[in-house]
Amino acid sequence: MADNNDKVGSNIDGKYFVDTTCIDCDLCRQTAPDNFETNEDEGYSYVYKQPENAEEVDLCTEALEECPVEAIGDDG
């Protein structure tokens, strides 16, 4: 489970976040491309936009549930 005390600094404030255990596998960006981006220099993904509608919430939740290293968290 992602640790909200270990969030990557690039996350935008809000319910969803990525922590430092991220391996930048691309799953979240493929699942919810409107909400996740990559930091290519540092090798991790992060939340650049919090979900703004039910479809985006569903996709972010799917990314959280499917993350192979459980690096996506939900503060809500």
Summarised one tens digit per residue, pLDDT across range 51-63 is: 999 999 999 999 9
> What's the rounded Cα separation, in Å, for the pair 20 and 6?
6
Residue-wise DSSP of 18-51:
EBTT----SHHHHH-TTTEEEETTTTEEEESS--
Inform me whether the pLDDT recorded for 76 exceeds 90.
no
16-74 is classed in which CATH architecture?
A: 2-Layer Sandwich (3.30)
Summarised one tens digit per residue, pLDDT across range 15-40 is: 999 999 999 999 999 999 999 999 99
Give me the pLDDT at residue 25, please.
Answer: 97
Residue-range domain boundaries for the chain: 16-74
Give me the pLDDT at residue 9, please.
Answer: 95
> What's the rounded Cα separation, in Å, for the pair 48 and 34?
8
Backbone angles phi, psi at 19, to 5 degrees: -105, 180
